[in-house]
Amino acid sequence: MANLQSIAGFPVESVLAIARSIGWGAAEILQSYYHPHPVAGESALDLNIQDQGDGPVTAADVATNHYILNNLHAAFGTVEFGYLTEETFKAQNPSERLQHTWVWIVDPLDGTKDFIKRTGEYAVHIALAHAGRPVLAVVVCPELGKLYYATLGDGTFVETRDSAVTQLRVADRDRIEDLSVVVSGSHRGERLVQLLSQLPCQNQRAIGSVGCKIAAIVEQQADLYISLSGKSAPKDWDLAAPELILTEAGGKVTRFDGSLLQYNQADVSQWGGILASNGTCHTQICAQAETLLAVIDTSS
Ligand SMILES: Nc1ncnc2c1ncn2[C@@H]1O[C@H](COP(=O)(O)O)[C@@H](OP(=O)(O)O)[C@H]1O
Ligand SMILES: [Mg+2]
């Protein structure tokens, strides 16, 4: 895969360094809400949980979104770069991002429900897309103390808070029955439940946040993530950064029909079935999922 030479005139290394630094800063803000240290007379930070129809939003989502966006704006401006973030996209005129070739796609808190439930399974996603495809990505899992990063063609790395860096590759497990599946705990429509029950890989577990699920695959603790939209679908900011982290570690991300996801389109929902995998049985599992769904849909 051709690697990235430069980003709108910025050296790739410096863009990555800024994105990583913003990723760690965002993790610190989230943890200040997740692990409040109230001093005498002061209460813990209030999460101010609001349900806006698309799932809960907390003061931690809003503060972290603000921090990431301010820092990206300060570093990269708004001439060469567009911005698509979970917390600002509704108020935004879509033409601001659609006219840009380079677009930052940000989820300040992926796994808000798990953040509220305190499972520790939440993440920060920062991706840079070029012409609708991710070319640079940072995913931080604050409770693991790990930041995953990737640039197109240069592999996936994990960094810890002491700045130790290790390159990551997906597992080479290739017996379909042995593959371990991670799925959403909270987005499980009846079709997905039926599909999961009929797949040959029955080693399945729920993990919150797409970023944490992909982290489990690049850490070789799992092999597959299956997403199937229902009334709602995952959005660009849920998938763009995790996709590059996985593909640069040797994995694959496609729709069940084999097509690649396109980001920064007019509709930011990613409808249909999506398979993210270690790559070994990807085509076979996509084909099986399509066949199983056809039967599930005719018998329902
Ligand atoms: N079928 C679906 N419909 C809507 N959103 C989905 C979805 N599957 C995953 N997501 C989004 O992906 C993120 C991780 O979900 P999960 O933990 O269930 O896998 C959540 O985003 P946010 O937490 O950023 O709102 C969730 O809203
Ligand atoms: Mg999300």
Residues 154 and 144: beta-carbon distance below 8 Å: no
- Do residues 126 and 185 both lie within one domain? no
Ligand nearest, relative to CA of residue 127 = 2
Distance 209 CA to ligand 1 centre (A): 7
Residue 227: CB within 6 Å of ligand 1? yes
Residue 111: CB within 6 Å of ligand 1? yes
Please provide the average confidence, as pLDDT, over all residues in the chain: 95
pLDDT in tens, 6-39: 999 999 999 999 999 999 999 999 999 998 775 6
Paired with 253 in beta bridges are 276
Ligand nearest, relative to CA of residue 187 = 1
Distance 206 CA to ligand 1 centre (A): 13
Q: What value of ipTM does the predicted structure carry?
A: 0.97
Q: Which amino acid residue places its CA nearest to atom 20 of ligand 1?
A: 111
For residue 244, what are the domain limits?
Answer: 176-299
- DSSP count for the chain of H helices, then E strands: 8, 16
3-state DSSP of 211-278? HHHHHHHHCCCCCEEEEECCCCCCEHHHHHHHHHHHHCCCCEEEECCCCCCCCCCCCCECCCEEEEEC
Distance separating alpha carbons of residues 256 and 287, to the nearest angstrom: 7
- Do residues 136 and 187 both lie within one domain? no
Task: Note whether residue 1 is domain-resident.
Answer: no
Chain centroid, CA 185 distance in Å:
15
The set of long-range contacts for 269-272, using a CB threshold of 8 Å and a minimum separation of 24, is 269/229, 269/232, 269/233, 269/234, 269/235, 270/227, 270/229, 270/233, 270/234, 270/235, 270/236, 270/238, 270/239, 271/229, 271/233, 272/228, 272/229, 272/233
**Which residue is listed with tokens 């796609």?**
105
Residue 23: CB within 6 Å of ligand 1? no
- The answer to whether the Cα torsion of 195, 197, 200, 206 is positive or negative is positive
- Do residues 12 and 128 both lie within one domain? yes
Residues 170 and 278: beta-carbon distance below 8 Å: yes
Burial (Cβ within 10 Å: 0-12, 13-18, ≥19) of residue 72? buried
- Do residues 127 and 203 both lie within one domain? no
User: Residue 28: in which H helix or E strand, if any?
Assistant: helix 12-34
Residue 184: CB within 6 Å of ligand 1? yes
Atom index in ligand 1 nearest the CA of residue 114 equals 17
Confidence grade of residue 46 (pLDDT, cut at 50, 70, 90) = confident
pLDDT in tens, 180-234: 999 999 999 999 999 999 999 999 999 999 999 999 999 999 999 999 999 999 9
- Do residues 150 and 259 both lie within one domain? no
How many CB atoms sit inside 10 A of residue 63's CB?
19
**The domain spanning residue 225 has which CATH number?**
3.40.190.80
Residue 229: CB within 6 Å of ligand 1? yes
Ligand nearest, relative to CA of residue 53 = 1
Distance separating alpha carbons of residues 235 and 225, to the nearest angstrom: 16
Residue 211: CB within 6 Å of ligand 1? no
- Do residues 117 and 191 both lie within one domain? no
Q: Which two tokens stand for residue 185?
A: 């705990």
What is the pairing mode between strands 133-141 and 146-151? antiparallel
Confidence grade of residue 3 (pLDDT, cut at 50, 70, 90) = confident
3-state DSSP of 113-158? HHHHHCCCCCEEEEEEEECCEEEEEEEEEHHHCEEEEEECCCCEEE
Task: Note whether residue 182 is domain-resident.
Answer: yes
pLDDT in tens, 78-117: 999 999 999 899 889 999 999 999 999 999 999 999 999 9
Distance 110 CA to ligand 2 centre (A): 4
Residue 180: CB within 6 Å of ligand 1? no
